[in-house]
Chain A
Amino acid sequence: MHTPAGLPDTGALGIEHLTISYLRRERVLPVLTDVSFHIEPGEAYGLVGESGCGKTTVAMAVMCYLPANARIEAGRIRLQGIDLTTAGQAQLRSLRGNRMAMVYQDAGSALNPSLTVGRQIAEVYRFHGGLDGGAAMEAAGAMLETVQIADPARMLRRYPHELSGGQQQRVMFAMALATNPDLLVLDEPTTGLDTTVEAEVLDLVSRLRSKFSASILFISHNLGIVARMCERVGVLYAGRLIEEGPSREIFSDPRHPYTLGLTRCVPNRIMRKDAHRLDPIAGSLPPLGLAVRGCVYAPRCPIARSRCREEDPPAFASGASRVSRCFYHAEVPGIPPGVEALPSARAEGAAEELLRVEDLSKRYGVGANQVVALDDVSIELEAGEILGLVGESGSGKSTLAKCVVGLLEASGGEIDFTGRRLSRLADWRKPELRRKLQMVFQNPDTTLNPSHTARRILTRAARLLSTGGSPADVDQRVAALAAAVQLRPHHLDLKPSFLSGGLKQRVAIARAFAGSPALVLCDEPTSALDVSVQATILNLLVDLQTKQRVAYLFISHDLGVVRYLADRIAVMYLGQIIEIGPAQEVFSPPHHPYTEALLSAMPTIDESQGARIKLTGTMPNPANPPSGCRFHTRCPRYLGDICREREPPWQEDHQGAGKAHRYRCHIPPADLGPAQREMISRPADNDERPGASA
């Protein structure tokens, strides 16, 4: 069905030897080098790679939206035979409207906030479809129905800010599809959306594909999504297309060391921190504009030889309709995992309770506008234990962490730490308690003070968190901290703007560990990092935990990471903990229907995935939570009035020794378990079926 790449094509989109540079400060920095691929009519082509590898530049080049400082040095982009690199402005405008369309990553900022949704969609019909006002609005309504927005007539009159993230993205799809384009460019269309919403949007794309015949260029950093959505995939590295082929084959049997590295550095279903180490890719992406001799991946490649550093590898046919730019592509399947020795056994001690949070609540506002961000949350943690905290955005995960650490003042409830009652705000806590309770934040760009060097940051932390000591002692402590997080000495004298995201996060971790903490709260510490960097940071966190017997409260929306890392897992929904228990038990039935939905929404490149559970609707407004079970409005296993009227009891599920596994639901484990197991074993062929009974 596919023609081998490189041959002249008659497909929907053909990119030939595209080379693009950016001009910056009188320097010419190549971003794309000799990129060639094509997309057949009706085909979905995925483009994957880590941030900074040139994915978005490809999208912008195809849409001819390159920034002013970009220059196409060589190559052609052909849309059904028309060369876009030489097309005039008028022609491009008409092409963009009628033949190709793009859906952007951040729908919230891609929509005009001051126009109603209806007007923005109708505009497309007016300018490109030639319809007049009334007819255009009607067509807009019909298109909203196509992208499965409930109550289109009302939605037309809404403004973008009144829509949820998933709805905004649907509106973007409606605008893009309004002219029935031949090519649809999707640039990270689900990044920033919650897993369940992401799954909905992806289902929509699949459904739209069968309705419209557009070719799709799907750009994503998420291998799982691309594997699911695309027939073929290209892997970009440092502006070069290093491997290409059918998506299932590329990920199951990579023939380029970089693709192999990408697939190996994320934790999979069987990996646990006690038994497996993650396998990060050594080194980092070469800086833009660096003249590379030979293979661009050679400095990080485990099988690089002298030839790799001399010659630029051409495109080899590495299989039927597959291409790899590696001299030794045949050897790739045999590359052994670069896993280091397992960490030494965990420092064992008697199980002692470290943290007990009881009935913690946090309310904002008063009266009718009161929002309950945390509703009687109780958790406990043992010394050296990792408790994973998962849930969609707005579920209260970060609020819980901030209340525990004392950055937010809880409205009610108690926090006991090392057997002592904690004041609600960090300022009021005793220094020795504060020292033992630290936090690692989410955003590497704001977690460090931009005007302080790494050394100043760590010195300050060491001085405040460790007791006493001469300046020489403090210096020594800083050096030890830097070594513990694998920072090189010269990094210490740099300000954060000169450090990469991974390095910044290491400084932040070192800062939290400056006072030998007993509990560190990690609020999505790797969510802004690329996978290969994430693997390094997770390994680091595991090492520190094993060596120092630190406990973590680890917040993440990435269930794969939590499953790998956590001893126990707590699931939050609308400010409540709805399930808590040992990691393995939470991840296997019986578990809360919400957990079940979260798990089934996980993007995966495993073909044996079971039937998907689809959640309907979005998370209700926390100012006005649903009665009874808070999840009943979206629950795929909704029983009836009982769920709507009565708050569900805690169900205990005794599977093994150790801590109890409990979830909040009206369905007892004896009934829930078999039903959920049956769902998993059902084949995943029900994409067209609407969500389970709502």
Chain B
Amino acid sequence: MSALPPSLEHGELPAPPPSDRPDQILGAELMSAASLSAPSLSARGLPTGRTREVLRALWRSKTFVIGAAIVLFWVLDAIFWPLFVPYDPEGLVSPMTLQPPSAEHLFGTDDLGRDIFSRTLAGARPTLTVAPLATAIGVAGGILVGLFTGYYRGIADDIVMRIVDALLAFPLIIIAVLVMSILGPSITNVILVIGIVFTPIVARTVRSAVLVERQREYVAAAKLLGNSDLYIMFAEILPNIMGPIAVEITIRLGYAIFTSATLSFLALGIQQPSPDWGLTISIGRVFLQTAPSEVLFPAAALATLIVGVNLIADGLRQVLEE
């Protein structure tokens, strides 16, 4: 018995963190590694650990990099096209209409004798003006609605979410068409309508993220300290749901481009003589059989931009979900 010091009587180690599967062991280890070499990692001002890790992973993601390259190309084009288009995109530059591609007109000419190459390059600008602004409105609205409904729950949440369900039951484009035909076509209205239509969709994503986050203990701790609800929503919860919001932004951006093109195509959005892609496709479709270039090139441009944005969304989602 003397071999048994009393201190051994209750030799219990507490439960370890949820699991120590190898990948998590690594996580834990790297954590302590980080805390040991803390000063080098906490250089203030630089993006801190998680952000930097995400950026690095994005840079390694082929999906993201290709998508970003495509989108970057169109963004630069939308800004700088006046510097390098060969003709005035809105000018009647050729007496010959509906020409196939030639050395003079790389993509041919349209039904009014305008240069399709110049119009395709210039068409990025209206699209890349409308879509980001509309997305910004939709995301801002969605974050507000999602944060409040998700944080407070209760009756207001039930009502708002049922309205959202009802809205989502309609195809978005029908609502957009309906509102546009009431408001009348203009760029501002296109931006507003797409933004408003996106709000409930984003709100739903934000709300579900808030529902998870508000259960965490740091939110309870913040309440006990006496933080205001607004502070808890915007300073405590919001930074931690930026991941799903970032993914939502990219997905919405793709849809915004698509929706804006559709509205133009239906002649409810941007009007002549803008080189907007949707509009050009709409006009050119009449001549699709005889002169496909007027549809083909803007359509290809639109497709690459949407694919690029979706690649960014996919890459982002993969990295954030890792």
Contacts and interface: CB of A to CB of B under 8 A. Distances in A.
A442 interface: yes
Interface in B28-58: 28-36, 38-39, 41-42, 44, 48-50
Contacts, number: 233
Interface in B5-35: 5-23, 25-26, 28-35
Interface stretch (B65-73, B75-83, B132-140, B219-227): B219-227
Contacts of A558: 12, 14
Interface of B is mostly: helix
Given A52-B28, A56-B22, A66-B22, A269 B9 contact: yes
Given A501-B17, A503-B35, A266 B11 contact: yes
Closest 7 CB pairs of A and B: A287-B33, A223-B11, A288-B29, A51-B16, A451-B239, A441-B217, A221-B13
B218 interface: yes
Nearest to A220: B13
Given A67-B23, A494-B42, A508-B221, A464 B226 contact: yes
B4 interface: yes
Interface in A95-130: 105-106
A511 interface: yes
Contacts of A681: none
Interface of B: 1, 3-23, 25-26, 28-36, 38-39, 41-42, 44, 48-50, 216-218, 220-227, 236, 239-240
B14 A526 contact: yes
27 contacts: A22-B22, A50-B13, A52-B29, A56-B22, A66-B22, A106-B19, A249-B3, A251-B8, A266-B13, A268-B9, A287-B32, A287-B33, A290-B33, A438-B224, A445-B17, A447-B217, A450-B218, A451-B240, A464-B227, A491-B38, A497-B50, A511-B225, A530-B16, A531-B12, A604-B9, A604-B11, A606-B4
Interface in A474-523: 490-491, 493-495, 497-501, 503, 508, 511-512, 514
Contacts of A396: none
B35 A442 contact: no
Contacts of B10: 224, 266-269, 560, 602-606
B7 A263 contact: yes
Interface string A557-575: 0101000000000000000
A223 B50 CA distance: 36
A22 B8 contact: no
Which of B17, B32, B239 gathers most chain A CB within 10 Å?
B32
B240 A450 contact: yes
Which of B1, B9, B16, B28 gathers most chain A CB within 10 Å?
B16
A448 B8 contact: no
Contacts of B8: 251-252, 263, 268, 605-606
Contacts of B7: 263-264, 266, 268, 271
Contacts of B20: 51-52, 55-56
A406 interface: yes
A31 B25 contact: yes
Given A57-B25, A287-B29, 16 more contacts: A24-B26, A60-B22, A222-B12, A224-B12, A252-B3, A268-B6, A288-B25, A407-B220, A438-B224, A443-B217, A447-B218, A452-B236, A493-B38, A494-B41, A530-B14, A603-B11
B11 A498 contact: no
Which of A269, A285, A437, A446 gathers most chain B CB within 10 Å?
A446
B241 to A, nearest CB: 10
Contacts of B14: 221, 526-531, 534, 558
B217 A442 contact: yes
Contacts of A67: 21-23
A154 to B, nearest CB: 31
A227 interface: yes
A685 interface: no
Contacts of A606: 4, 8-10
B31 A263 contact: no
A298 interface: no
Contacts of A405: 224
A494 B35 contact: yes
Nearest to A439: B224
Contacts of A450: 50, 218, 240
A627 B223 CA distance: 38
Given A288-B25, A451-B240, A490-B42, A262 B13 contact: yes
A503 B31 CA distance: 11
Interface of A: 22, 24, 29, 31, 48, 50-52, 54-57, 60, 66-67, 69-70, 105-106, 188, 191-192, 221-225, 227, 249, 251-253, 262-264, 266-271, 284-285, 287-290, 402, 405-407, 426-427, 431, 434-435, 437-439, 441-443, 445-452, 460-461, 464-465, 490-491, 493-495, 497-501, 503, 508, 511-512, 514, 526-531, 534, 558, 560, 602-608
A291 to B, nearest CB: 12
A435 B17 CA distance: 30
Given A495-B49, A503-B35, A263 B42 contact: no
A514 B227 CA distance: 14
A510 B23 CA distance: 30
A188 B221 CA distance: 31
A227 B21 CA distance: 24
B26 A511 contact: no
Contact of A446 (B217, B226, B227, B239): B217
B5 to A, nearest CB: 7
Contacts of B12: 222-225, 266, 531, 558, 560, 602-603
Contacts of A512: 221
A103 to B, nearest CB: 14
Contacts of A448: 218
Nearest to A561: B14
Contact of B42 (A57, A106, A406, A498): A498
B29 A289 contact: yes
A461 B220 CA distance: 13
